[in-house]
Chains A and B, each alone.
Chain A
Amino acid sequence: MAAPARIRRRSSASPVFVGLLFASPWIIGFLIFQLYPILASAYYSFTDFNLFQSPTWVGLENYRALFQDDRFFKGLFNTLYMTVIGVPLGLVLALLTALALNTPSRLQPLYRSIVYLPTIVPIVAATYLWRWILNAQYGYMNLWLGRLGLPQPLWQEDALWTKPALILIGLWMIGGTTIIYLAALQEVPRSYYEAAEIDGAGWWSKFWNITLPAISPVTLFQLVIGIIASLQYFTQAYLFAQTRLNTASGGPGDSLLMYGLYLFQNAFVFLKMGYASAMAWILFLISLAITLVVLRLSKYWVYYEGE
């Protein structure tokens, strides 16, 4: 008796309402924890706000000051360095690794696990580990470079080498990118290769004319994700530049002062929330602009099946 009544009641509710009701945990979370902070930070970026006193409206003053702040530009430069050099290098290496892993071998599952392993090491632990590997005097890296008769850079002390050191750590952790490439490689239809082989195509020709175009949507995806992640670069630089008393540091010659690190300093060390909010919005606009350019340019090199 009770069951049909319940069904009747349920069916009387509008499907849109029911749908929204089911999505409400996310919607409420989004409104409170994402949309509101985003809008609030836009407002704070036009104020002088230190967390403790009410914000005072200063108009465009924060933005004006930023463009006269050489550490802002230093942070931007360091971050773009990591993006322009680190991201393509990571993609190329991940693709090469995926190609190698894609060749049939009995030990293939083992090799794949080994490549993926570094990705599951917590990033803080991994960075501390690398601080030791890259220790100029006692580290393994310089020990082997020395044995090979190569120069032994001061990875953590010389402003010229700190960012290459971070890129090196990044390359060690390309397991995730590799796995996605590997999946993409396995999706490329065999028949393309067979047709090319009949036409007498060699290894390079097949790679250049089939593999690369066929996985180009995946490359685009990984490129955009990589750029966005790189523009927010923080943890490894923070840990690398860390000093004994854990004061906010930009490393030797501010060479590790990433955009995100300087934003953090402004917000939580100098308590200049308005200034930090302005920085966050500029970073958002930069990310947006770069992503749009990459997407616009992608029509020249990305091929979708069925087009």
Chain B
Amino acid sequence: MSKLETFAVTRRTLLLNGGRLGGAAMLAGLGLSGRLGVAAAADAVTLDFPFLWTGPEGDALLKVVDTFNTSQSGIKVNGVSNPDQQRQLAAMSGSKGFDISDSFGGNVGAWASKGILEPLDDRIKKDNYDLTDFVPAALDQQKYDGKLYALPIAAITTALLYNEALLTEAGIAGPPKTTSELADAIAKLTKVDSNGNITQLGLNQPSLSDFAFLFGGEWANDKGEPTPDNPGNIAALNFWVDTVVKKYGVDQIKKFQSGFGEYASPQNPFYTGKVAMTIDGAWQIQFIKEYAPQLKWGAGMLPYVDDKPELAGVSPLTTGMFFIPRNSKHSDEAWTFLKYLVDKPAMLDFTLALANLPARLSLLDDPKVTALPNVDVWLEALRSPNLKSFPNASWAAEYQNELTSSLDAVTNLKKTPEEAMAELAKKMKQIAG
């Protein structure tokens, strides 16, 4: 019965749509491709727009797509959430793929170098498209070898989030500003029971490749060559090893971490008070509202190493972006839609969905953005001259993978930071040529 009903509704809907579209009615009524019907009837170009975003961000994008579709008649965008990067890559390698999609700025180098992405420079010049409103560092991530391959929609900086109650309990007045204050806070906020088991960790283990930036570390030099053995990187790793790993024990830390709940759930260790501080992005504003509304929390700028005050405001930067693949069949229409996506109204709707930071300067002081609790810390980081990124190179994925292995050896005390990074430097010379 219910199956029949569903069929009837679908059929009626198809027929109604078909009727509105005249010639397409028969196609739709016969159950043939509705998309074909729409395109044929209205002379509209259909753009395939699969995107990796899911959840609230995916829903927000679908709303943007709807608004776009009703705002004009020449282009019909077919948006669908498809969070599978393998499939995305496979589609771009064939002769028939999609027309526009999203990714992270960190992929631009790897993809552009393989000819996957369409450069946007000629279109920008032809349209006299204004790029000055984009956050400069966010726009820079979309460039490879002097050409622009994507436009950013969201900018991701990080901040030090802290549990107010736990800091007060430990007698710490506010978030640490320098790394020596951070070491102090970690010592005061980490608790171990009589059996040597950790019951509370001062700082959740951050991404150590990002953590290196707080010590003036860099993963590539000005010439774009990998520099894993940069002294700042070594200093950061030594800080983590000395302040946490050696002090509390590799196995004890792992055992404690194995009891952490899912990241996007009320069992996130920061929400349950298992860790007192964590380094994370602005979406935590929305996450905490949803998963731990009772939590009293604050956020501070990331601390910087004591002897380099010029690093104040330091933060890693990543970006969410949109691009047109080389094998797009409708790249002109995709460009029109791309501009719409990163235009102010769409960007604001999308970024507010999960408290991301917009990638346009003029939106950074929009009241809807600044109304988010504690967002000023992430915004300040975004305006800082000390925004750092992992190198956007053709070999970035391999570098990241090798680095993960090396960092693993360091945090397991299998190798000293000096040894591990020297070995990695040698290996990267082979990979990066």
Q: Which A positions have Cβ atoms within 8 angstroms of B?
A: 50-53, 68, 71, 135-138, 154, 156-159, 244, 247-250, 252-254, 265, 268-271
Known A-B contacts: A52-B116, A157-B255. Give 6 more (CB < 8 A): A51-B89, A52-B93, A52-B114, A154-B255, A157-B257, A248-B401
B92 contacts the other chain (Cβ, under 8 Å)? yes
CA distance A68 to B426 in the complex (A): 13
Contact segment of B134-142, B309-317, B379-387, B406-414 = B406-414
Contact of A154 with B89 at beta-carbon distance under 8 Å, contacts A248-B401, A253-B409, A270-B398 already known:
no
User: In whole Å, how far is A141's beta carbon from the nearest beta carbon of chain B?
Assistant: 12
Residues of B within 8 A of A154 (CB): 251, 254-255, 258
B115 contacts the other chain (Cβ, under 8 Å)? yes
Contact of A136 with B255 at beta-carbon distance under 8 Å, contacts A253-B414, A265-B401 already known:
yes
A to B CB contacts below 8 Å, 23 in the list: A50-B114, A52-B116, A52-B326, A53-B115, A68-B430, A136-B254, A136-B255, A137-B256, A138-B259, A154-B251, A154-B258, A156-B258, A157-B257, A244-B263, A250-B405, A252-B408, A253-B405, A253-B408, A254-B408, A268-B89, A269-B397, A269-B401, A271-B397
Number of interface residues of B (CB under 8 A): 28
Residues of A within 8 A of B414 (CB): 253
Contacting residues of chain B (380-433) with chain A, CB-CB under 8 angstroms: 397-398, 400-401, 404-405, 408-409, 412, 414, 430
Residues of B within 8 A of A250 (CB): 405
User: In whole Å, how far is B371's beta carbon from the nearest beta carbon of chain A?
Assistant: 29
A158–B401 contact, CB under 8 A?
Answer: no
Q: Which residue of B lies closest to A257 (CB)?
A: B405
CA distance A253 to B413 in the complex (A): 11
B86 contacts the other chain (Cβ, under 8 Å)? yes
Contacting residues of chain B (112-127) with chain A, CB-CB under 8 angstroms: 114-116
Residues of A within 8 A of B397 (CB): 269-271
Residues of A within 8 A of B408 (CB): 252-254
A52–B115 contact, CB under 8 A?
Answer: yes
Contact of A51 with B93 at beta-carbon distance under 8 Å, contacts A135-B259, A250-B405 already known:
yes
Please give me the 5 A-B residue pairs with the lowest Cβ-Cβ distance, nearest first: A137-B259, A157-B254, A136-B258, A51-B93, A52-B114
Residues of B within 8 A of A268 (CB): 86, 89
Contacting residue for B412 out of A51, A52, A252, CB 8 A: A252
User: In whole Å, how far is B275's beta carbon from the nearest beta carbon of chain A?
Assistant: 14
Residues of B within 8 A of A51 (CB): 89, 93, 114
Residues of B within 8 A of A269 (CB): 397, 401
User: In whole Å, how far is A78's beta carbon from the nearest beta carbon of chain B?
Assistant: 13
CA distance A156 to B251 in the complex (A): 12
B115–A253 contact, CB under 8 A?
Answer: no
CA distance A68 to B258 in the complex (A): 35
User: In whole Å, how far is B193's beta carbon from the nearest beta carbon of chain A?
Assistant: 13
Residues of B within 8 A of A68 (CB): 430
Q: Which residue of A lies closest to B427 (CB)?
A: A70
CA distance A268 to B326 in the complex (A): 19
CA distance A52 to B118 in the complex (A): 13
A137–B405 contact, CB under 8 A?
Answer: no
Residues of B within 8 A of A254 (CB): 405, 408
Residues of A within 8 A of B263 (CB): 244
Contacting residue for A53 out of B114, B404, B412, CB 8 A: B114
User: In whole Å, how far is B426's beta carbon from the nearest beta carbon of chain A?
Assistant: 11
Contacting residue for A159 out of B89, B93, B412, CB 8 A: B412
A253–B259 contact, CB under 8 A?
Answer: no
Q: Which residue of B lies closest to A254 (CB)?
A: B405
Q: Which residue of A lies closest to B116 (CB)?
A: A52
Contact of A52 with B92 at beta-carbon distance under 8 Å, contacts A248-B401, A270-B401 already known:
yes
Contact of A253 with B401 at beta-carbon distance under 8 Å, contacts A53-B114, A136-B258, A157-B254 already known:
no
CA distance A270 to B336 in the complex (A): 31
Residues of A within 8 A of B110 (CB): 271
Residues of A within 8 A of B93 (CB): 51-52
User: In whole Å, how far is B259's beta carbon from the nearest beta carbon of chain A?
Assistant: 4
CA distance A247 to B390 in the complex (A): 16
Residues of A within 8 A of B257 (CB): 157
CA distance A23 to B401 in the complex (A): 46
Residues of A within 8 A of B254 (CB): 136, 154, 157-158
Q: Which residue of A lies closest to B325 (CB)?
A: A52
Residues of A within 8 A of B115 (CB): 52-53
Q: Which residue of B lies closest to A243 (CB)?
A: B404
Task: Scan B79-92; emit 1 where CB is below 8 A from any A CB, else 0.
Answer: 00000001001001
User: In whole Å, how far is A123's beta carbon from the nearest beta carbon of chain B?
Assistant: 19
User: In whole Å, how far is A130's beta carbon from the nearest beta carbon of chain B?
Assistant: 14
User: In whole Å, how far is B338's beta carbon from the nearest beta carbon of chain A?
Assistant: 21
Q: Which residue of B lies closest to A248 (CB)?
A: B401
User: In whole Å, how far is B133's beta carbon from the nearest beta carbon of chain A?
Assistant: 30
B258–A157 contact, CB under 8 A?
Answer: yes
Q: Which residue of A lies closest to B111 (CB)?
A: A52
Task: Scan B251-273; emit 1 where CB is below 8 A from any A CB, else 0.
Answer: 10011111100010000000000
CA distance A252 to B430 in the complex (A): 24
Residues of A within 8 A of B398 (CB): 270
CA distance A265 to B397 in the complex (A): 10
User: In whole Å, how far is A249's beta carbon from the nearest beta carbon of chain B?
Assistant: 7
CA distance A52 to B114 in the complex (A): 6
CA distance A51 to B88 in the complex (A): 13
CA distance A265 to B404 in the complex (A): 14
Q: Which residue of B lies closest to A267 (CB)?
A: B86
Select the residue from A53, A137, A244, A248 with max chain B CB neighbours within 10 A: A137
Contacting residue for B251 out of A52, A53, A158, A247, CB 8 A: A158
Q: Which residue of B lies closest to A268 (CB)?
A: B86
Q: Which residue of B lies closest to A53 (CB)?
A: B115
CA distance A244 to B205 in the complex (A): 14
Contacting residues of chain B (247-304) with chain A, CB-CB under 8 angstroms: 251, 254-259, 263
User: In whole Å, how far is A41's beta carbon from the nearest beta carbon of chain B?
Assistant: 16
User: In whole Å, how far is B148's beta carbon from the nearest beta carbon of chain A?
Assistant: 19
Residues of A within 8 A of B251 (CB): 154, 158
Residues of B within 8 A of A265 (CB): 401
Residues of B within 8 A of A53 (CB): 114-115
B114–A271 contact, CB under 8 A?
Answer: yes
A137–B255 contact, CB under 8 A?
Answer: yes
Residues of B within 8 A of A50 (CB): 114
Q: Which residue of B lies closest to A252 (CB)?
A: B408
CA distance A53 to B111 in the complex (A): 11
